[in-house]
Amino acid sequence: MINRETNWRSMMLFKTFPVRESRHTMPQIKSYRPTTEEVTRWAQSLDNLLSSKCGLTALRLFMKSEYSEENIEFWMACEEFKKIRSRSKLESRAKTIYDKFIRPDSPKEINLDFYTRESLQQSLLIPMQSSFKAAQNRAYFLMEHNSYPRFLDSELYHRLCRFAAGER
């Protein structure tokens, strides 16, 4: 079994983050140093963190190390879902997202209240870009109030701050 905390630590040692070039290419490892200003903005809001490629990667690594990556993965899947324009692709992707994150006993089931789950099931009868909005907001809320504060207190974030400042 791989120690997930060691995974992000080893990435920090090599000063790299996996950066995806596009949806159609394999992830490439590139050396990237976030600026001090960028890392400081991450602490101002979860939106600032999620809008930064490096910040998003750091949060994903952190949440994986805590075995709580389902919320960030669901949030990201919803962001991609909102960009789909084809009706058939919407239906197919909605089913995939539902099966992976919403269906009871799914591999990465997210924590949704009964009302949100029921309204989501109704909206998926005819999927639209906004079908997952309430569930995505719930996942965001959970990240904002649970994972995000822990991330800001984590050794990973503090190392990134030092790294951005040019320290080791």
Owning domain of residue 151: 4-66+147-162
Q: Per the domain annotation, does 167 fall within a domain?
A: no
Q: Where are the beta strands (DSSP E) in the chain?
A: 16-19, 28-31
Is the model's pLDDT at 24 over the cut of 70? no
Query: How confident is the model at residue 40, as a pLDDT?
Result: 95
Structural domains counted in the chain = 2
State whether 57 and 97 are in the same domain. Answer: no
Q: Per the domain annotation, does 32 fall within a domain?
A: yes
Q: At what angle do helices 114-123 and 133-142 cross, to 10 degrees?
A: 150
Query: How confident is the model at residue 27, as a pLDDT?
Result: 54
Query: How confident is the model at residue 72, as a pLDDT?
Result: 97
Q: For residue 133, give the CATH number of its domain.
A: 1.10.167.10
Is the model's pLDDT at 29 over the cut of 70? no
Q: Is the four-CA dihedral 109, 145, 27, 85 of positive or negative sign?
A: positive
pLDDT band at 14 (very low <50, low <70, confident <90, very high): very low
State whether 58 and 104 are in the same domain. Answer: no
Taking the whole predicted model, whether its pTM rises above 0.85 is answered as no
What tokens were used for 65?
């190390």
Q: What is the mean pLDDT of residues 49-74?
A: 94
